[in-house]
Structure 1
Amino acid sequence: MAQYIYEYKNWPEFTWDEGQISVILGKVRHLQGKVFGQMSGLGFLLKEETMLSTLTLDVLKSSEIEGEILNYEQVRSSIARRLGLEYAGIVHVDKNVEGVVEMMLDATQRYASPLDHERIFGWHAALFPTGWSGMHRIDAGRYRDGEMQVVSGPMGREKVHFQAPSPKVVRDEMDAFLAWFNQVSNIDGVLKAAIAHFWFIIIHPFDDGNGRIARAMSDLLLARSEESSQRFYSLSNQILSEKKMYYQTLQKVQHSSGDITEWLDWFLNCLYRALVNTEETLKRVLQKADFWNEHKETVLNSRQRLMLNKLLDGFDGKLKSSKWAKITKCSADTALRDIKDLIEKGILQQEESGGRSTHYELIPRWNTP
């Protein structure tokens, strides 16, 4: 079996090819500046809306990478409440959702605060409020005291992807990691986010939740690199869409003797693509703003406003009157009246696909995929 990176004498002295990394790092830095420039031109409410959408996406996708699907409305509502933002859809929020949101906001809104053992324990405890991960009891809020392997495959034919350092050295490893994390160095902040992500994953200090905490650390360092708690792009969303390469690259570089160029190259390119995709999100936010600006004098009831916001945010599935009634908690007749009123006002139209049941959509001008 090939040696792991932490088994080499020079661990944790990482090296990389500056020439290979500098071009993509320059592109990332340029695009970061461009995105922030575009955002600073937005009005206050639009900025809030973009940030709320981005943080919601980040929380949802970081959990989805681990196979956990959280409820969109709960995540969005929890973030809005904690940031003191206006949000119509205040809903009941599960404990585990509150925990993930708490960790993400602590990382991004308090990016300038030092990271220490206690703060990380707080994140971990927030991720596992019941002390259980699925069917397994775990040590929430403290480092693992058992061996840790990342495995896949059926019982008896498991494939070991990674063997983490012994639990005996975890505290010392984390001491060294945190000392580096908090010190002011001449390493570019974006590069530091990539190194921290990899280093923490290798230590694998917890029974579970290491991936989500590593991504929160990256978000913290990216916020630090921008000197801003305002989040306008989601790295986790991009990692999810490139999940296979994410794990493949980690698996390959974990056997390196210290050179992590391949990991840094992948991370920076992934971040670059996340920034490119942000322009799409911005387009939707601007469109939503234009819509409400145009309809500021239009008489609409609270049910119609709620459903229009859902449609403008990208409604999942087909909109039928029965769905309208269920979401807005009204009768079928009221739902149909609401919809017909919006058709008369030139906001909704009946979908042309026909079929046995009638579906509705925003008129083409507002209906971007």
Structure 2
Amino acid sequence: MLFPTPSLAVDDERVLDEIERMRLALRHQVRTAPAKWTEGLRKYLTADAVAASNSIEGFKVSTIDVEDLLEGERDVEVSEENREETLAYQRMMTYIQTLHDVDDFSYSKGLVNGLHWMLQGHRHTVRKPAGQWRRGPVYVTDARDPSIAAYTAPDAGDVPSLMEELVDWLNDGDEAHPLVRAAMAHLHLVSIHPWADGNGRMSRSLQTLMIAREGVLAPEFSSIEAWLGRPGNTWEYYRELGRRGSEYLPDQDVSGWVRFNLTAYHQQAQTVQGRLDRSGQVWSLLADFVEAAGMDERVVTALHDVAMSGRVRRSRYEHAEGLSVQQAQRDLRELVTAQVLEPVGRTRARYYTAGPRFPERALGVARTPMRLVAPFVG
């Protein structure tokens, strides 16, 4: 038995309508914006989702380091464990993103187990098999006292039938709004806890896949994982899951879970819109600066990365602009000579940050924090 999808209250419907309007406006803006800086935003959002979801599980890698790792950069100062977890999650997320417009797509136990192997294959052991249902009990322990089971998942013998029921629901389901269904899928999977490890990230990834399949926004804009990964939100996330009880009790009202996810959708849409707006303003300011300085317009890409993310590497600039190694090195060297950029580190590990003559207005816009509005008041 799965959790029944709750009916929406009037306030829920209002917030869902607001989310839909924001997402449609965001889709239009992305489609009409210059490809160069929307492509950078797509990469940032993917990296931010990977960094955030891994951070919930204790793997701490900054978004900018994840961006570099996803670009194939080897000289990033992270532990080998964090590197492996980041790249594994990125491979799975990349595959999920490619599924958003597959015509003959369907959910299956093989699909979710395959995704789990992408995520956990590097950790595969007899005791904790990857890509296979768990063979024994699994517990979510209390963060303050690991000797206490905050949640005990269903018996391992019940997992195959529960997952078959979930797959049937994913393919046929109910008539609820796609965003509500995606939230419910997350709850179903994390509550069944079908694997020995990796259940949280798999559940968040399934939600991302369902939102992407809906087709309103490109997959990179569809995830709420970055929102869930903020410390205060992570605490609320675990608290909301904890309200479901210490064991699998699907015959209950889960309206609170749906409302929590509506808040996440709403505030993540605000966040993406804010970054998109800032990104566009920063690009325009940098384009004006480059033109006035008589520089090649392609260096705006490098300067934009510095303003929005704090640094740029030669390899990242080279790939973004389709340059040779020599061209990218020459451009960055000239920017250093002009004191627009400053080099940090040596040889392959070198990256570039803002120099004393980097345009302050662009940095000011990029660093101005935005204010998030709470969709439910009172």
TM-score bracket for the superposition, by shorter chain length: 0.7 to 0.9
Correspondence for 2:321: none
SS in 2 for 1:69: coil
Deviations 1:256-297 (A, max 9, x none): 742111100111111101101112210232134325533267
Equivalent pair of 1:96/1:129 in contact (CA under 8 Å): no
Of 77, 91, 97, the residue aligned with 2:73 is: 91
TM-score (ref. length: structure 2): 0.74
Change beyond 3 A, Cα 1:283–1:256:
same
Structure 1 residues 132 and 152: CA distance shift in structure 2, 3 A: farther
Q: Distance in 1 between matches of 2:357 and 2:267?
A: 30
**Offset of residue 78 of structure 1:** 6.0
* Separation of aligned partners in 1, 2:360 and 2:229: 30
Cross-structure match for 2:132: 142
Q: Is the 8 A contact 2:286 2:359 kept in 1?
A: no
8 Å contact from structure 2 (residues 50, 66) kept in 1: yes
The alpha-carbon deviation at position 18 of structure 1 amounts to 2.3
Per-residue deviation, residues 24-53 of structure 1 (Å, max 9, x unmatched): 222222221121122122122233222112
**Among residues 192, 216, 220, which one is paired with 1:231 in the alignment?**
220
2:121 to 120, 129, 133: 129
Match of 1:114 in 2: 106
How do 1:32-47 and structure 2 match up within 5 A?
32-47=23-38
Query: Equivalent residue of 1:129, what SS?
Result: helix
Residue 61 of structure 2: which of 70, 73, 93 is its match?
A: 70
**2:212 and 2:222 in contact (8 A); partners too:** no
Displacement of 1:153 in angstroms is 5.4
After superposition, give the CA deviation of every residue in 1:89-139 in whole Å (9 maximum; x if it has no partner): 641395433321121122232034222222212221222232259xx9621
Distance in 2 between the 1:154 and 1:38 partners?
44
Unaligned runs of 5+ in 1: 1-10, 80-88, 320-327, 329-334, 349-357
- Separation (CA, whole Å) in 1 of partners of 2:259 and 2:297: 51
Checking the alignment, whether the CA contact within 8 Å between 1:109 and 1:229 is kept in structure 2 is: no
Cα distance, 1:361–1:68 mapped onto 2, change above 3 Å: farther
Letter in 1 for 2:122: T
C-alpha separation in 1, matches of 2:3 and 2:297: 61
Structure 1 range deviating more: 161-170 or 289-298 = 289-298
Amino acid at match of 2:9: G
Contact 2:56 2:229 in 1 (8 A): yes
Runs of 5+ consecutive residues of structure 2 not aligned to the other structure: 77-82, 313-324, 326-331, 343-353, 368-378
Query: Which residue of 2 is the match for residue 353 of structure 1?
Result: none
The 5 A counterparts of 1:1-369 are 11-20=1-10, 21-70=12-61, 72=63, 75-76=66-67, 79=70, 90-92=72-74, 94-111=83-100, 112=102, 113-131=105-123, 138-152=128-142, 158-183=147-172, 185-232=174-221, 234-241=223-230, 242-254=233-245, 257-291=251-285, 293-294=287-288, 295=290, 298-299=294-295, 308-315=303-310, 339-343=336-340, 360=356, 362-367=358-363, 368=365, 369=367
RMSD (CA atoms): 3.4
d(CA) in 2 for partners of 1:301, 1:279: 25
For residues 276 and 309 of structure 1, what CA distance do their matches in structure 2 show? Answer: 21
What residue is the counterpart of 2:371 in the other structure?
A: none
Aligned-partner residue type, residue 199 of structure 1: H
Change (3 A) 1:76 1:298: farther
Q: Deviations over 1:186-231 (max 9, x none)?
A: 2211110110011111100011111111111111111122355442
Change (3 A) 1:15 1:310: closer
**Could you tell me the TM-score, scaled by structure 1's length?**
0.75
Partner AA of 2:165 in structure 1? A
Distance 1:265 1:163 in 2: 24
Distance 2:282 2:14 in 1: 36
Sequence identity percentage = 18
Query: How many aligned residue pairs are there?
Result: 319
Question: Could you tell me which amino acid in structure 1 is paired with residue 160 of structure 2?
Answer: R
CA distance in 1, matches of 2:270, 2:99: 26
The 1:276/1:228 distance shift into structure 2, 3 A limit, reads closer
The 3 A distance-change label for structure 1 pair 49 and 249 is same
Q: Distance in 2 between matches of 1:244 and 1:183?
A: 33
Q: 1:361 to 1:341 in 2, by over 3 A?
A: closer
SS at match of 2:67: helix
Distance 2:112 2:200 in 1: 13
**1:151 and 1:159 in contact (8 A); partners too:** yes
Deviations 1:220-263 (A, max 9, x none): 11112235544225411111221111111111034574211110
